[in-house]
Amino acid sequence: MAEVIRHTWQVLADDYSTAGEASASLKKVLKQLGFAADIIRRVSIAMYEGEINMVIHANGGTASAEISEDRITITLADSGPGIPDVGLAMKEGYSTASDRARSLGFGAGMGLPNIKRCSDDLKIETEVGVGTTLTITILA
Amino acid sequence: MKQVTHSVTLETDKCIGCINCIKKCPTEAIRVRNGKATIMSDRCIDCGECIRVCPQHAKKAVYDPMCEMDRFKYKVALPAPTLYGQFKFAQDVDYVLAALLDIGFDDVYEVALAAQTISDHTAEVLPEAKKILRDPLISSACPAIIKLISIRFPELVDNVMKVIAPVELAAIAARREAQEKTGLPPEDIGVFFISPCPAKVTALKYPLTYDKPVVDGVLSMKEVYGKLIAALDKIDEPPRLSTAGFRGIGWASSGGESRAMGEELFIAVDGIQNVVKVLDEVETQKLHHVQFIELNACPGGCVGGCLTVENPYVARTRITRLSKMVKPELDKNGVDPLKVAASEVMWSNTLEYQPIMMLDADRGTAMRMMSEIEKTAATLPGLDCGSCGAPSCHALAEDIVMGIAQEGDCVFKLRERMQALFDEMMKVQAYMPPTFGVRSAETEEETAEKDLEEEKNTGTAGAAGTAGMTGSAETAEDAEAEAGSEGSNGANGSEGADPEK
């Protein structure tokens, strides 16, 4: 059976300083597994943007990664407010981030578009008032 | 793989096998084996962190002895600007340069002057580079950082500026200038760098981004310091020797390189652990708004190098003072463009990613190893105590799976095993093989007889007999209690005792 490696991280609400730790530790694993620099870069950007999204919008959540030989699947699950209009959220520059998030230099409306750009497949399951789950696939 | 040689080495006699260095190494390159620290050569970036933290001073930098100079007819010193900040009584840069001539050099060529040329070059290429790169351009001046990036940050290899370091440019220019001045053949001219750190020693002797070394030797600032102190005493009126301005001299401390370029959207990071954090952020594109990043492995920049003498904070203040004293027009100076062509400022080799952290070239194998590592790591205590000789529990798990360590290296695991062994021993000790049991029953009968005798003497009516197989060390009370509570046993016991009655 093909080997699959799984990692899970908790992303805390409103914690801008530790956001990025999941991304950094996933990067270390991918380097040890010998994935190409470009793949590692795309994974780390998508993961980081996802982490930040959960910090800004969703009271935190869970980030997990499933690594197999030919692909990396990242799941970012939160029980936040959900995305009312996914089409709008995917538009570059569109943002519903709070003033506080913007004052910290986040919320430029590039999160989802950036994730989309870095992934080979992006699945968004969202329900207003229930939460959002992003499933990002990056092929190696 | 190319054999890497390092300036950072271990004096085995002094090493007591403590864990200070293994915990500080940014590439987890050190393990304690057989009671001594050992450095994994392909991981070492010569940053000197281990030298800084070793309480035994067992880690040291290897450099050339000053007598190497004697091999040459004409000797040129390349002082790093950091050198200027080392002396309390040097009133200006000219004093330090004159002192270098006094201790045996025929000429000096300031690295600070070459630094100004590199700054101009960087300012020139930056706009072009930023068009191609999404993320900041990274300074190539600190060789420890270049090596760090080449083994830990594969995605950033292209962001490193492809220019040689100021000392390398200074060496090329100094040699040509000396040849012109003296008419001597190149082999008679010795060009020596006075280095603040081991990383520069290694980088100059075993260059990574070009083929042939450009210096003839690298001396340690510490060693030259003693000689210069004595020489400085004798200098009253030094001649005008300094050629570099504020911009070049400022390179000695963190932030100087960026200021010299006039770049505003820059950050200057010093200290290897801080550098690692910032590079992690560059990789996740957190810092894409920054144009240029100056990175120095040593705290405070080159003034914090482990081959310097003066406290880096004092040196930094002194350098600021000295650089304000030099004439402002010197800021415009640089390496004569007729001597060194712009193309020579560029690296001739590309910086390549060295995947030394990779577990195996075959991904399937690497994945299996990784699973094994995670499983192993989960069984370790997670205290990262270092007693196993690896920097963290996770590193030990990696070592175990790679076959260079074993579970028993963990003192907690060892204790667990000892406890298990001890429990097993207790079990074995308590168990009586059947044959032993027969023999012990015989002896027990004898004891029981004695017990009965005693009971008769004290007048206690008791039916205590042999209490079966439960042991021979029981007291009379125990036997009594058992006889009372265990009906059948007691009955047996009575049977045994009956004939006596």
Chain A interface disruption, residue of B284, B354, B359, B360, most A CBs within 10 A: B284
Q: What letter does residue B162 receive in the DSSP assignment?
A: -
Please name the amino acid found at residue A42: R
Chain A residues within an 8 Å CB radius of B280: 20, 24, 27
Chain A residues within an 8 Å CB radius of B366: 32-34
* Shared-domain flag, residues B74 and B57: no
B284 → chain A, closest CA residue? A45
- For B466-488, the DSSP string reads --TTS-S---HHHHHHHHHH-HH
Measure the CA–CA gap between B119 and B103, rounded to whole angstroms. Answer: 31
* Shared-domain flag, residues B21 and B98: no
Average of pLDDT values for A20-37?
Answer: 90
Which residues of B touch chain A, with CB atoms under 8 Å apart?
A: 152, 154-155, 157, 280-281, 283-286, 353, 355, 357-361, 363-364, 366-368, 370-371, 374, 398
A73 — pLDDT class (breaks 50, 70, 90): very high
A42 → chain B, closest CA residue? B284
Distance from CA of B128 to the nearest CA of A (A): 22
Chain A residues within an 8 Å CB radius of B371: 3, 5
Q: Which helix (H) or strand (E) holds B229?
A: helix B221-234
B357/A5 Cβ within 8 A? no
* Shared-domain flag, residues B444 and B462: yes
- pLDDT at position B331 is 84
A31, A38, A48 ranked by CB distance to B284: nearest: A48
Which residues of A touch chain B, with CB atoms under 8 Å apart?
A: 2-5, 20, 23-24, 27-29, 31-35, 37-38, 40-41, 44-45, 47-48, 67-69, 114
Domain boundaries, chain A: 5-139
* Shared-domain flag, residues B221 and B118: yes
Chain A interface disruption, residue of B283, B369, B401, most A CBs within 10 A: B283
Give me B302's structure tokens: 């080159």
B357/A20 Cβ within 8 A? no
CATH no., domain A5-139: 3.30.565.10
* A-to-B residue pairs, Cβ atoms closer than 8 angstroms: 72
* Residue B351 domain-assigned (yes or no): no
Q: Which helix (H) or strand (E) holds B123?
A: helix B111-132
* Shared-domain flag, residues B300 and B228: yes
Chain A residues within an 8 Å CB radius of B281: 20
ipTM: 0.82
* Shared-domain flag, residues B104 and B135: yes
Give the C-alpha distances (Å, rounded to integers) separating B216 from B32, B192, B454.
Answer: 35, 6, 99
Chain A residues within an 8 Å CB radius of B155: 37-38, 40-41, 44
* Shared-domain flag, residues B452 and B317: no
Q: How many residues does chain B have?
A: 501
B358/A69 Cβ within 8 A? no
Q: Where are the alpha helices (DSSP H) in B235-299?
A: 246-249, 256-261, 272-283
* Shared-domain flag, residues B384 and B324: no
- pLDDT at position B455 is 62
Domain coverage including residue B162: 66-237+253-345
Chain B residues within an 8 Å CB radius of A67: 367
Q: Among residues B43, B62, B81, which one ends one of the domains?
A: B62
Q: Among residues B429, B451, B471, which one ends one of the domains?
A: B429
- Residues of chain A with pLDDT > 90, as a percent, come to 49
For the beta sheet containing B74-79, the strands, ordered from the edge strand earlier in sequence to the opposite edge, are: B107-108, B74-79, B189-195, B217-220
Average of pLDDT values for A111-140?
Answer: 93
Measure the CA–CA gap between B130 and B63, rounded to whole angstroms. Answer: 38
* Residue B116 domain-assigned (yes or no): yes
- pLDDT by position in tens, chain B (length 501): 344 588 898 999 999 999 999 999 999 999 999 999 999 999 999 999 999 999 999 998 999 999 999 999 999 999 999 999 999 988 899 999 999 999 999 999 999 999 999 999 988 888 888 888 878 999 999 999 999 999 999 889 999 999 999 999 999 999 999 999 999 998 999 999 999 999 999 999 999 999 999 999 999 999 999 999 999 999 999 999 999 988 999 999 998 888 887 767 889 999 999 999 999 989 888 888 888 999 999 999 999 999 999 999 999 999 999 988 888 888 888 888 778 888 889 999 999 888 889 999 999 999 999 999 999 999 999 999 999 999 999 999 999 999 999 999 999 999 999 999 999 999 998 988 888 765 555 555 556 666 666 666 665 444 444 444 444 444 444 444 444 444 444 444 444 444 443
* Residue B81 domain-assigned (yes or no): yes
* Residue B353 domain-assigned (yes or no): no
Measure the CA–CA gap between B63 and B60, rounded to whole angstroms. Answer: 10
Chain B residues within an 8 Å CB radius of A23: 284
A38/B374 Cβ within 8 A? no
* Shared-domain flag, residues B203 and B155: yes
Crossing angle for the helix pair B198-205 and B166-182, to the nearest 10 degrees: 60
CA dihedral of residues B467, B472, B474, B480 (deg, nearest 10)? 20
Distance from CA of A48 to the nearest CA of B (A): 6
- pLDDT at position B458 is 61
- pLDDT at position A100 is 74
- pLDDT at position B499 is 43
The CATH number linked to B40 is 3.30.70.20
* Shared-domain flag, residues B335 and B198: yes
B283/A31 Cβ within 8 A? no
Q: Which helix (H) or strand (E) holds B205?
A: helix B198-205
* Residue B192 domain-assigned (yes or no): yes
* Shared-domain flag, residues B337 and B479: no
Chain B residues within an 8 Å CB radius of A33: 358-359, 363, 366-367, 370
The answer to whether B97 and B127 have CB atoms below 8 angstroms apart is no
- pLDDT at position B452 is 66
Distance from CA of B28 to the nearest CA of A (A): 13
Distance from CA of A132 to the nearest CA of B (A): 22
Chain A residues within an 8 Å CB radius of B367: 3-5, 33, 67-69
Measure the CA–CA gap between B123 and A101, rounded to whole angstroms. Answer: 33
Measure the CA–CA gap between B102 and B95, rounded to whole angstroms. Answer: 10
Give A124 or B480, the one with higher predicted confidence. Answer: A124
Q: Where are the alpha helices (DSSP H) in B271-349?
A: 272-283, 312-325
B280 → chain A, closest CA residue? A24
Distance from CA of A69 to the nearest CA of B (A): 6
* Residue B270 domain-assigned (yes or no): yes
* Shared-domain flag, residues B262 and B181: yes
B152, B155, B281 ranked by CB distance to A41: nearest: B155
* Residue B247 domain-assigned (yes or no): no
Q: Among residues B379, B410, B429, which one ends one of the domains?
A: B429
A34/B370 Cβ within 8 A? no
How many structural domains compose chain B?
4
Q: What is this structure's pTM?
A: 0.82
The CATH number linked to B379 is 1.10.15
Q: Which helix (H) or strand (E) holds A36?
A: none
Measure the CA–CA gap between B79 and B98, rounded to whole angstroms. Answer: 12
* Residue B350 domain-assigned (yes or no): no
Chain-centre distance for alpha carbon B88 = 31
The answer to whether B16 and B55 have CB atoms below 8 angstroms apart is no
